[in-house]
Each structure stands twice: as C-alpha cells, then as structure tokens.
Structure 1
Amino acid sequence: MAKGLWAALALALASLSPAAWAQLGDERILAAREALRTGDRATLERLSSARDPHVLDPYVRYWRLSNLLARPEPAPAAELIEFLLYEPDSLLAERLRTDWLRRMARDRDWSGFLQLYPDLREPDAELRCLQRNARLENGDMTVIAEVQDRWMDLVDANSACETVFRTLALAGHITPDQLWWRIRRQTDSRNPAAARATLSWLPVSEAPALAEFERATKSPAAYLDRLPPNFSTTRVGREVALAALTRLAREDVAAARVRFDRIEERFAAEERSYLYAVLGHQGALQGSANASAWFRAAGKIPLSAEQRAWRVRAALRTEDWRGVQAAIEALPANEQALPEWTYWLGRAQAAQGRSTEAQAQFRRVAGQPHFYGLLAAEELGETFAPPTRAGAVTADDIARAESDAGLRRALALYRLDMRTEGMREWNWALRGQDDGFLIAAARVAVRNEIYDRAINTAERTDPQANYDLRFLAPYRQLIEPQVRQQGLDLAWVYGLMRQESRFIVPARSSSGAQGLMQVMPTTGKWVANKIGLRNYQANMLSDPDTNVLLGTSYMRLILEDLDSHPVLASAGYNAGPGRARRWREDRPLEGAIYAETIPFDETRDYVKKVMTNAVIYAAMFEARPQSLKARLGTIAPRMSADR
C-alpha cells in the first residue's frame, strides 16, 4: 500500500510542468522577502543557505547580500564577487553593484569604487555624482574642467554632487558669479531650500545672512515692501531682492511686477534682464498677456530650457506667429529639432504665407504616431488611417522570449504580486533585443495579462507597426456597456484609460489613485454620491466593475460641466475641472494651442497623449480614417466667473 502511494506521488511529481515546479518554492521566496522587510536576519540567512531550482532563487541570495551591505560590519567582498560572477549581466548583478558602490562611498573606499564602477551598465544620477567625487579624491583634476563645462546644466544635480561642488567652490575653481547664477536657478524652482547649500560656498564677504535670505524667499512680498533704501549698494542686497522678486513672481506675477517697477532702476542691466526672463516665464504659466513683452525685455540673457519653451508658448497663446517663429529659431539645434517645435514652426511659417517652407517642416514629423505627427500629417491633407501593418514574429522569436531567463524571472515576480521587481526584470531583459524578440515578448505579456509591459515593449519596435499590441483594448466586455450607458465615446475612454493605468487592474499611484481608471478615493466618494451608489467604501475601487463605473461616470460629469469638450474634460480628469476652466482664454482658442499651453507639465503631456490615443483607437474600432484636429476643435472663451 505504502509503495503504491509513493509510486503515485512520484508519478504526479514527474508530470509537473516547470511552472508548477517553480510554484512549489514560492513560499520560500515570499518568506525571504518578508524577512528582508522585517529585518529578520536569522530567517534570511537560513533561507538563503538552501538552494532549489526556483527561477527566483537568486533573489533570496541577493536580498541577503544587500542586507549584509547595509550592516556596519565589513562588506563580504568574496561573497559579493562570487554572486557577480555567478549572475553576470543580470539585473540583480547590476543592483548588487549599485548597493556595493554606495557602501564603498559610505566607507570612503574611493579606489575600490573606481575599480567597480566601470562594470555598472546604467549608473543613476547619484552614482554619477559619487564617481566624480571618487575621481577627485583620487587626485583626478579633470573633474574640475568637467564640472565647469557643465555648470549651467548641473543646477538640478543629485545632492550627492554637492560634495564635489563644495570642494571646487571653496578651492576657488567655481567663481562667485557662477555660484550666484546657481542660487538664482535654485530659487526659481519648486525647492528653493536647495539654494542654502550653494549660499554656504560663497566667500564670507560676499554671502548674505541665511536668516535674511530665508525671510526674502518665504515672505517675499513683505520683504520687498520693507526693503531699506540702500539695499542696492551691494551685490548681496540686490541678489537677495532678486530672490524675493523671483519667489513672488511664482506666486503672483502681477504683484511681482508692481514691486519691480518701484526699484527696477536700482539693478544692473544684467540683473534686470534676468528678472524680466523670470517674469516672462511665470507670466506665461499664469496666462499673462504681458509674457511675450517681458521675454523681449530680457534681451539676450541666457534662458533655461524651460524658459525657452515658454517663450515659444507665450507667443503661441496670443497667436503671434512671427514671435513663435523667432522664438523657435532662437532655440538650440537639439531643442529646435523636437517634434513639437518642428510642427509649430511649420504652423508659424504657414500663417505667414510661407507654405513651401511649412510643408517641409510638416514632412519631417508627419505620420509619426504621436500628437505632432498626426497634426503635421493633417496639414499635408492626410488623416490617420486604420493601421494594418503587424510586425513579423517567428516561432524562433517566440521560443527565444519564452526561454529568456530575465522574462521568466519577471513573470514569476508578477505571479507573486511583486510588480515593481517584475517590471525592472522585464525592462532589463529587453535591452539590446531585436524587433522579433520584442514583439514575441509583448505577446507573452498579453498572454499573461501584463498589459502595461505588452504596450511598453511594443512601443520599442517599428513605430509604424504593431498597433494591435501598442493599443490593446482589453476588458471590452466590462468597459463597453458602461461607456454606452454613460453616452461616452469608446475610443476616448480607452485613450484615457491607456494613459491612466495601461490596463493594470491593481495599479495604484503615489497619490492614492486606484484601478483601471485611477480613481482617487475622494473622487470615488463624490461620484458615488452623485450617481446614487450606496454604501461606497474606498476599497471598492479595487473592483474593476466599480472602478469603471465610477471612472466613466466621472468622465461624463466633467464632460457635461466643460462644454462637452473632450480636451477640457481630459485636462479636468487629470488636474481638476476648475483648472481646466481657468486655463481657457478670453477668446475662442484652437484646441491644439490650448493643449500646448497647459501650464502643468504632467497635464499638458497627458492631454496630448489621451487625445492622440483616442484618434488611434477610433481608427481601429471604426476601421476608417480619423482627424485629430477635428477632435481637438476649438475651446470656447472662459466665463468671467472663471477668471
């Protein structure tokens, strides 16, 4: 009897697929991750000492080594090297090198750092900064010229770079003029506190009191209203006043202009030009009709990339096509070649009767599957036709993808709901792969219902092909009835959902938005009350049916509230309907110009992508050409109550 049971068990085990064998070890993987999370070193040591053929076994060993590197004891160099040799070119090898390099930086082992750093495939901003510091500590003086050459581009550098910057500044390799320029840029940012460190690198005789700088930047209007008459006799006094004006302009550009008018003649010409550039930038963001004039008053003062872009948008908002052309042609070549400025330069040329030049610009981007490519094609008389091309994929391609170690690890991680780790593994596995492998990998992702990886993988292939993968339409039996009930456009809903969640049911944003339609709990509660959904609880957002019901209901409500215009409603879904209303103009405005001049970077990008997605989905659903310009339409003037 016993022999029969053992024989049956052996037969059952022998018949298990590799996937089933892998799942037998899942508990060990999950237990190891929990031990890492809770700091249970003994359990982690015990689990890592075992070996089994589970595809995620290297993770258990990596977690143990990562934990050891975080401890104060000396790093286990021999074990680290062994792992790197055993897992060459893997994501975990890259992550372990990163952990080890950070440990070397903490230990100030700069020679070891420089030996290991070249093996890193994709160093992040922090490690690039630490590498400069390691070189400087080892006497490599070429770092000085490298930092000086890129000083204007390093304003937003990782905080790990501050050690190098401080060392060079205190040694006199960075001049006070360069430091003040950095302080200005940092003050004109979302994190003005970053300027404190740079202030401390100024020579004592040329630095303001930190308390005074804090008053100027935290309460700029009050500070400016109490400026002493002799504030402008020193550079320090003028720079602190500029900092206050800059911070006030970010809050209220009109109030900043009033105060600047009182003291403008007290500043040097370069200082006035700098402040006019700030006013132009903030004026454009706040919808001031004076923005272009302020940019012109700035003269030839160097502008940041963001200021250069908003100089174009300020002219575009008022449909000053000559100004649009001048602002685009003043951009550096790499920025001028971007699709947005290629398209808008063509529009500016066309508006001035220079059709031959305009068509040449449009042809540069026409047909590319993005907002400007579709618009440029329409300027040439071509609406977006239903895509027909599918990329070629062979049985060998499928076999390569299915057997790829990185993709197999990614699938196992997704199965265990370790989505962040799974996404990292998936993306790492795609590096340097050909289109055949990528298409096959995208199909593997679809088969496993990992739709975001399918879309992102397909987007790495020929941009004119694989629309069936790049614009998936899953859950249609769930979504379409809700869309029809709400009276919405199915293509628009899919276009928005693709941008919101990439069709990942458990998607959750850092702000708390959840599900297929990324509904915020407070929004869900408001919508539930509006539509009479009883007993609403925030955890209901994890249910796809409820999530789609609330999301499509919200789309309908804001569409009805915003002139039934999908551009406004898309902006409202992302940033709130109140903002979408305020961003209108006092006159009718072309929908494309409205979208281009949305002041929030995220929302501007979002609206353009949602509307482009909607056109492509409509072409696929309806099997006929579609017009993006028609969908963008014209935005009606704002009401007086919205000002």
Structure 2
Amino acid sequence: MKRLAILTPLVALATTLTCPGVVFAQSAADEVLLQMQQASRKQDLRTLTSLLPAIQGHPLEVWGHYWALKARLSSATAQEVEDFLQRWRGTYQEDRLRNDWLLLLGQRRNWAEFERLHTEFRMQDDKQLRCYDLAIASIEGRLPQHASTELQQLWMGQPANDDGCTYAASTLYAAEQLPALAVWQRARLGAERNQLSTARNALAIVAPQHVDALAGLFKSPQAYLSNPKTTPPPALATLALIRLASSDPDQAAQLLRTRWQQSLSAEEQHWVWGMIGKVAARRLSDNALDYFAQVKQLTDLNDDSLAWLARAALRAGQWDKVQRAIAAMSPAQQQDSTWVYWQARALLTQGTPADQARAQALLGSIAGVNGFYEQLAAEDLGQAVLPPPEPQPPTAEEIARANANPGLTRALYAIRIGLRSEGVREWNYTTNLHQPGGMQDRDLLAAAAIACQAQVWDRCINTSERTKSFVSWQQRYPMPFKDEVVTRARTIGLDPAYVYGLIRQESRFIMDARSHVGASGLMQVMPATAKWTAKKIGMTDFQPSMINQHDVNITIGTAYLKLALDDFDGSMALAAAGYNAGPGRPRNWRNGPVLDAAIWAENVPFTETRDYVKKVLANTTNYAAAITGHPQSLRSRLGLVGPKNTPVAYNKELP
C-alpha cells in the first residue's frame, strides 16, 4: 500500500479517510500531537509550549493550541483568549474554549464579560453556565418566570463540585426566589449520594451554623443520632437518617419509628422512608414495599425513589402501586419509555374499556424497533420486529459535502491517529442539530456513511441513530467480521445475533477499546477472564497481548459467553447480566419469585447492568431480524427468571 503523506490539506485528506481499511503511517507531527495529548492530561504546560512549533500547519494544529491555552487559562489574559477565539472561529475548539473561559468568568463573578461572550456560545450544553445566567438575571432584577423551578431542575442533577448552580441557588435564596425546602433537598441528595461537599454547599446557603456538624454526621450517622448529650435539629436528623439508611435501612427504620417519628415533618419522614424503601428495593428485599407504604404523599419522593417503588411493586405483582408510583413521577420521567410501558401494562390489569384504550394509546406512542420497551410495546400490539425499509442511500453530492466538512474530517483524522476522545467530541459537535446550519437527516445519513466507510463504527451507529424521518438499519446495526462471528457462534452453539447484540453494546466495534476496569477489544474481555477462557478451550499459544486481535477476541469472548449461557440454563437475560457484572451477582439476583424476565431485568440493582441487559437483548432481536430476514420477537428471548431449578450445579470456576 502506498504510504500517505500526513500533512495534507483537509479536503484532500477527506478522500483518504473514508477509504475502508486504510492504515495511516504516523508522521513525526502526529507523534507530537499524541505527546501533547498526554502532556495536556498532566497539565504539563512546559511540554505543551515547547512542542507547539512542531505542529505548525498540521490538520489538527488547533488541538495543540487549545491544549496549550487551556493549561494556562487561569492566568491567560482576555486578549489571549479573544485571539484564540478569532483565529479558530467556527471550530469545536473555539466553542470549547469559550465554555472553559465562561466557567472561569463565572467563578470570578465577571458578569459583564460573561454576558458578552455567552451570547456566542453555540453548544449551550453546560448547565453551570445556564445557572450563572439565572444568577445574573436575579442580581439585575430580571428573573424570568419559573426561574426557581428551572434552577431546581438544573441543580438537583448537577455533580458535587458545581459553583454555577450553587451560586445561583444562594443568589435566588437571598432574594427569596428559591424556597428553603429546595436547598435542603439538595443537601439530602448529597447525603443519598455520600457527597459531603454537596451537602456542605447547600447548608452554607440555608443553615451555615450547622456546616461543621456534617463531617461527623456523614462519618457515623448512628452515633450522631444516638448522642445523649445533643438533640440534632430535625433537618440534620433527616440527613443522618438518610446516610444511615444507605448502609442499614432496617436500623434507620427502627430509629425513625422509635425516636424521630414525632420530631420530623411529614415531608422529612416521607423522604427518609423513601430512601429506606429504595435501598431495600435495590437489595431485592421483601420488605421494601412495607417501607414505602409509610409514605402517605408520594409526590414528596424524588424520581429515583419513585422508580424503585415502581420496580418493587412490579416484582411483587402489585400493579396498582406501579400505577401510583408512575403517576407521582415528574413529567419528564413519566415520558421515559420505561415508565410509559409499565404504566400501560398496569392499566391493562384494570380491565375497564377506558383503561384498555389508554393502555393501547400509550403502547402505540412508543412502539418501534429501536429499544427494549419500544420492541415490547410493539409486540403487545401484535407487531413483530422487522428491519424497516432502507432510505435512499446518500447521493454523491451529499457524500461530497460530508467529506468536505472540516469538522468531520478533523474528527476522523484524530480518531485514526489515536486521539479518539478528541475525535469523538469534535464529531459529535459537528453533527449536532443545534449548531448553526446544523445537520438534518440526510446530512446525518451521509456523515454516518463516511464513518462506516472509514470503519469508525461507533460514530456510524451513533450518528445514524439520530435520524428522525427514516432509519438505516445497515448503519445502526453493522456486522463487521460477519463470516468470523457467524461461523464461530454457530460452531459453538451460540445465536450469532446474540453475539452481535453484545458486541454492539460492549465496544461499538472499536477493536482497541479498553474499559476503565481493563476489559479489552470487541467483546471487552477482562485479562484474567481471557487467560482462564483460553486455557479452558485449549488455546495453548494465548498471550495477553493477543486480546485486541479481533479473531482472538471473538474466539475467547464467544467461548466465555457460551459458558455463561450454559451456566444460566440458556437464559439470555441472566447470561448478559453475568457477562457485565460477573456471574455471582445474577445468581443471587435471580433468587426470589419467578418473574417475567422484563420485570427481572428492570429490578437489576446496578444501573449499568440493568441498562446493559435491556440493550443487549433489544440489539439481539434486531440483529436476528437482519441476519435471518424473518420477523423476530424480543419476548421469546426473555422467558422467565427465577431460582435455579435444574440439577446441574453452577460452574464455580466461571470468573
């Protein structure tokens, strides 16, 4: 293959990037950029500055300048920032640096400069900046209607170290525009999440005299509550009971009943009972609903507690409680397909014509092929899963326009030389509909096409998933290495659609993908698991360095998946949970009542694994339709989940 010159104009580069199978020879400047990426992560300003001359004229030069300025942004002058914004105007990096600089301006309370620059911020995706905007409006006396409600929604979802929304909350609270209860609720969320700084920041607004008590309260809530020398204020006792409930819900329930029931307000009691019930539900405890029953006003609970009330009620088959829990959720959560589906199922148990009609309407509102509950809703309406008709492929003009887009080209270039996170961010920014002249469905189809052609499968899939007026099944459910995957799966008795469904969720077909816990390759196999599985199947020449080779990864990953599936008596839901969380956990999670696997999956205690199981099974159903060309059923792949009732013992060696 002819070696390609790296330092070429972007337009010329685009033609090369979209050729499948191209392997780039890294130039010296490419290597410098990779060094600069590492220096940026270490905040090594000296290295960044010294390397800048070596990337002059490089297609990704803007990244080097962004990293170098970002590393010293706190000491940069406004003119230096302005020079960068003007030089790289219209790029992702310009808007990203504007975001970084606006956050600094907000922290410095430089409102005049903040307002001037904020109007040109295109992404508009930083909640802290919106909170600063609300704070400025409050200071200037022009607070919009419903600002308090908007701030509460923003603040409650923010991480611990959030100056923007915390400052806005303090400003609105001082102006009597934010109720004290909202600030205490933020503190309670800090207690639920074991985020001392979140609770401390909230108390600094509403009860600064109690801030010093928080460290001891968090460290030993039972000792704090049981101290005979002091009687904590009810609001602090609420925080301590929440912290205690996170580790010992039964003890928290006992203390609430015996000592604190009369001291706390009804709303405070309800929040604590909701926390106790949520922890018990996550532990799949039979007494979870008893704890939730102490809550007389469900709207006093937050959405997370209400979701666990609904899950516990599903597990117990108490459909009236499912319906009441969903009805108390926020409008946004009620519109999630999960709760639309279970609300419909709950209504179907009522039997009245009106309830039946409403249930059918709810199912129809989400029925489709692109998700777990969407597929179940379609099946409940008598529809099978089949690939929709493919749209007209991108025209030559549409492909040419995508290839000429500098943001897309830079993104693909970055990904191909090893700057994956940077490339993904620039790709997502460039394809975002909210940008000026943003991409419509045909533009997204063409962008996905050039990503597919370049074998950057994750951008192909994610971009194609955003089209609204049509669905390209080929883009959303690609099948790289089809002959190898299908042959290997069928040889060992696996459904190839199940393998593809899992790979799509695990790695999006990124061959060198590596998770934060060390899992590698297409099927994200852990090193110890790879070694054990290789030995189990007689792969005597296996070396850890081989795990990112796609053929080795497929061989070992499918072998382990088959062992897990056999261990769980053929249950795809249990095996997927075992693949993600290890086999020991789903062995415990299955103990209890025999459940529809959809209900069992919704009650998986780990958020990541719960989401994983549902996505793998939905993917599997779609891949089966694509591979076979025949209508498919998700429900037929679910079955029932309950305690192990076969004489074959678990494989205790399975890692």
TM normalised by structure 2 equals: 0.85
The partner residue of 1:195 within 179, 199, 203 is: 199
Q: In 2, Cα distance between the equivalents of 1:178 and 1:357? A: 34
Cα distance 1:337–1:171, how it changes in 2: closer, same or farther (>3 A)? Answer: closer
Once the two structures are TM-superposed, the CA of residue 369 in structure 1 deviates from its matched residue by 2.1
Contact 2:194/2:243 (8 A) holds in 1: no
Whichever residue aligns with residue 259 of structure 2, its letter is: I
Contact 2:458–2:509 at 8 Å: present in 1 too? Answer: yes
Task: Summarize the Cα distance change of 1:174–1:478 in structure 2 as closer, same or farther, 3 Å threshold.
Answer: same
Partner of 2:163: 160
Aligned-partner Cα distance in 1 for 2:35–2:543: 29
Q: Deviations over 1:253-274 (max 9, x none)?
A: 2333233333254433413223
Bigger RCO of structures 1 and 2 (CA < 8 A, at least 6 apart): 2
For the 8 Å contact 1:517–1:548, the answer to whether it is kept is: yes
Does 534-543 or 584-593 show the bigger shift?
A: 534-543
Verify: 1:586 aligned to 2:596, yes or no. Answer: no
**1:298, CA displacement in angstroms?**
1.0
The one-letter amino acid paired with 1:245 is L
Of 238, 245, 251, 1:242 maps to 238
Which stretch has the larger CA shift, 452-461 or 289-298? Answer: 289-298
User: What RMSD in Å do the two structures reach over aligned CA positions?
Assistant: 3.3
Residues 584 and 199 from structure 1, CA distance in 2 versus in 1: closer, same or farther, beyond 3 angstroms? same
1:182 maps to what in 2?
186
Query: Structure 1 410/266 Cα, relative in aligned 2: closer, same or farther at 3 Å?
Result: same
Shift of 1:368: 4.5
1:421-570 aligned within 5 A: 421-431=422-432, 432-462=438-468, 465-534=471-540, 537-570=543-576
Counterpart-to-counterpart distance in 2, 1:298 and 1:478: 55
- Partner SS for 1:200: helix
Checking the alignment, whether the CA contact within 8 Å between 1:29 and 1:57 is kept in structure 2 is no
Q: Which residue of 2 aligns with 1:383?
A: 384
Match of 2:403 in 1: 402
Deviations 1:85-135 (A, max 9, x none): 343322121123123334545665432222111111124234334445566
Question: Which residue number corresponds to residue 3 of structure 2?
Answer: none
Distance in 1, Cα, partners of 2:492 & 2:16: 47
Name the CA distance, whole Å, in 1 between partners of 2:527 and 2:469: 37
Counterpart of 1:10 in structure 2 is none
For the pair 1:140 / 2:140, whether they are aligned, the reply is yes
- The answer to whether the 8 Å contact 1:275/1:298 transfers is no
Q: Is the 8 A contact 2:34 2:419 kept in 1?
A: no
Any conservation in 2 of the 1:391–1:439 contact (CA below 8 Å)?
no
Distance 1:258 1:528, change over 3 A: farther
Match of 2:370 in 1: 369
User: Which residue matches 2:248?
Assistant: 252
Which AA in structure 2 matches 1:631?
A: R
Which residue is 2:272 aligned to?
A: 275
* Aligned match for 1:75, one of 62, 72, 77: 77
| Change in CA separation of 1:228 and 1:209 when aligned onto 2, cut-off 3 Å | farther
Q: Does the C-alpha gap of structure 1 residues 538 and 222 become closer, same or farther in structure 2, counting only changes over 3 Å?
A: farther
Aligned residues: 613
Displacement of 1:335 in angstroms is 2.8
Q: How far apart, CA to CA, are the structure 2 residues paired with 1:254 and 1:639?
A: 31
Within 1, Cα distance between the matches of 2:78 and 2:34? 21
Contact 2:368–2:375 at 8 Å: present in 1 too?
yes
CA deviation map 1:124-160 (0-9, x unaligned): 2343344455667xx4244698764345432343522
Quick one: which amino acid aligns to residue 198 of structure 1?
A
Contact kept, 8 Å, 1:540 with 1:546, in 2: the verdict is: yes
Offset at 1:341?
A: 1.9
Q: Compare the two structures and name the one with the higher helix fraction.
A: 1
8 A contact 2:451–2:457 mirrored in 1: yes
CA distance in 2, matches of 1:485, 1:405: 45
| 2:149 aligned partner | 149
Q: What CA distance in whole angstroms lies between the structure 1 residues aligned with 2:238 and 2:542?
A: 51
Cα distance in 2 for residues equivalent to 1:199 and 1:494:
49
Structure 1 letter corresponding to 2:242: T
Whether the 8 Å contact between 1:390 and 1:468 is mirrored in structure 2 is: no
The secondary structure found in structure 2 opposite 1:511 is coil
Question: How far does residue 474 in structure 1 lie from its aligned partner after superposition?
Answer: 0.4
Q: Distance in 2 between matches of 1:281 and 1:43?
A: 54
- Match for 2:53 among 36, 39, 46? 46
Cα shift at 1:494: 0.4
In structure 2, the CA distance between the partners of 1:132 and 1:510, relative to structure 1 (3 Å rule), is farther
Farther off after superposition, 250-259 or 339-348: 250-259
Retained in 2: the 8 A contact 1:144–1:168?
no
Alpha carbons 2:151, 2:169 under 8 Å: kept? no
| Structure-2 change in CA distance of 1:200 and 1:169 (3 Å) | same
> Contact 2:36 / 2:64 at 8 angstroms: preserved in 1?
no
% identical equivalent positions: 36
Distance in 2, matches of 1:382 and 1:185, equals 42
Residue 262 of structure 1 is matched in structure 2 by 258
Give TM-score, length-normalised by structure 1: 0.86
2:221 aligned with 1:220: yes
Shift of the 338–535 alpha-carbon distance from structure 1 to 2, 3 Å rule, reads: same
SS at match of 1:539: helix
Asked whether the equivalents of residues 270 and 300 of structure 2 are also in contact (C-alpha less than 8 Å), the reply is: no
Amino acid aligned to 2:283: Q
CA contact (8 A) 2:241 2:256 kept: yes
Give 1:312's match in structure 2, choosing from 286, 310, 315.
Answer: 310
Q: Which amino acid aligns with 1:296?
A: A
Query: Contact conserved, 1:501 with 1:518, CA < 8 A, in 2?
Result: yes
CA offsets, 1:144-194, max 9 Å, x none?
987643454323435223344445657877665444333222211242442
Query: Quick one: which amino acid aligns to residue 116 of structure 2?
Result: Q
